[in-house]
A and B are shown apart, each in its own frame.
Chain A
Amino acid sequence: MMRLPEFDYVRAESVEEALALLNGHDDAMLLSAGLSLIPAMKLRFSTPGLLVDISGLTSLKNIERLGGRIRIGALCSHAELIASEHVPDLLRQAAASIGDPHVRNRGTIGGNIARPDPSADLPTALVALEAEIQLAGEEGRRAVSAEEFFLGLFSTAMMDDEIIIAVEIDGARNGAAGYEKMAHPASGGALVAAAVSLAVDGGRIGRATVAMGGLTVTPRRCRSVEEALSGRLLSDSDLSLVVRGIRTDVGEDMIGDHVASEEYRLAVAQVIARRAVTKAIDRM
């Protein structure tokens, strides 16, 4: 078994203290449950000199409706998301599909999005929900759209001296939703995932947002698919032409690995996307 390298550890008592520690140390990293970070540290992918444990910051554990928006604290666990009636259905479906009960009990939304890889579930759902990531730094707070937040493998728009405070979603984004994925059999992570959010207008699909995970390094909004969906009759069940747009939307950015090649992922994506659309319509 891999031993971890040496590091210092401190428990932050407040967001301000956590920020001061991040600012004061070049090699400080934040720790919530540690379900991505500790495995990464075992493999030496991450080598922090200081771990700042923020898991005790209760101010980041609330889920609330503020005006027309849902605000989810960064330290809310996946289990808490699933149990909350405020959280949009698409995000609850994505959270419910994560790993296993042990991971869902302790893993947090902040942790899931702070070190994203293509197999993470919440980033894909948040891109489809057009969510906003709320960040705090010593300079103040700022918001970044989900699509602009996820930049690459383990890479986000968050600066080294910032902390994710919350995720905000427009309260109106609770339309028909379908999250479907092909899961890795051991880890439960997404090999390919589709997050679909549909507004309904009479008997037709109104505005649709679709994001695919596992095809590109970061979640990909599939605007060709969205255009093909918008205006369709709900009863029209032949979705094969709709999902063809995925290839266009993904373009040259396809990824593949020893578990699932690019071709395999693209083929699976057609099926997963169809299932997600069907699920969303069924759940209306």
Chain B
Amino acid sequence: MILTVAVNGQDYSEEVEPRLLLVDFLRDSLGLVGANKGCDTSVCGACTVIVDGRTAKACSMLAVQAEGSRITTIEGLAGNGKLHPLQQAFWDNHGLQCGFCTPGMILTAMAMLEENPRPTVEEIRDGLKGNICRCTGYEGIIKSIQAATNEAAGP
């Protein structure tokens, strides 16, 4: 069947099988390999993308479920040669080590900050429950998200 979807602002119309997972559509059909395949069981969040403004675990969603949707992946954040403030904050505050969880972390943070622009540390931790990191112990990630909110809020 034909899947019509917008990814990072670009429209696509592709022939897909119903069984194609969204994560495989993004990685294999569109070459957007930022969404990573970690656990395959919907717990780790390495595959997190944003679908119609809400986070989704792309490993547990069919591509066809995203018919008519607007999807944002990590590749859609930087623009005009500049990193998105969240990406810059992760860079500046050592918010990653191996980087495998990072696209999911950043997109989750982005959606979180849309809802709640000034989260407390507790709220950040809670909001990251669906994203597992094996490297950092989360401190750098939390610091990065806090730095990004401070940046956005201004002096």
Contact = CB atoms under 8 A, between A and B. Distances in A.
B55 interface: yes
B19 to A, nearest CB: 4
A34 B132 CA distance: 21
Nearest to B44: A186
A34 B61 contact: yes
B4 interface: no
B62 A100 contact: no
A5 interface: yes
A33 B57 CA distance: 11
Interface in B1-51: 1, 17-19, 21, 24, 37, 40-45, 48
Interface size class on chain B is 20 to 34
B41 A39 contact: yes
A76 to B, nearest CB: 14
A188 interface: yes
A55 B54 CA distance: 15
A35 interface: yes
Contacts of B60: 34-35, 38-39
A238 interface: no
A129 to B, nearest CB: 25
B18 A102 contact: no
Contacts of A53: 64-65
A4 B20 CA distance: 8
B132 A186 contact: yes
A175 interface: no
Interface residues of A, number: 30
Given A35-B60, A187-B43, A102 B65 contact: no
B127 interface: yes
Contact of B19 (A4, A33, A103, A105): A4
Contacts, number: 78
A106 interface: yes
Contact of B55 (A6, A101, A187): A101
Interface string A1-43: 1111111110100000000000000000001011100110010
Contacts of A100: 45, 129-131
A39 to B, nearest CB: 5
B96 interface: no
B15 to A, nearest CB: 14
A105 B59 contact: no
A51 interface: yes
Contacts of A88: none
A53 B64 CA distance: 10
B42 A39 contact: yes
B129 A9 contact: no
B56 interface: yes
A178 interface: no
A42 B40 CA distance: 9
13 contacts: A4-B19, A5-B19, A6-B18, A34-B60, A34-B61, A35-B57, A38-B61, A51-B18, A100-B130, A101-B127, A106-B54, A106-B56, A186-B43
Interface of A: 1-9, 11, 31, 33-35, 38-39, 42, 51, 53, 55, 99-103, 105-106, 186-188
Interface of B: 1, 17-19, 21, 24, 37, 40-45, 48, 54-57, 59-62, 64-65, 67, 108, 112, 126-127, 129-132
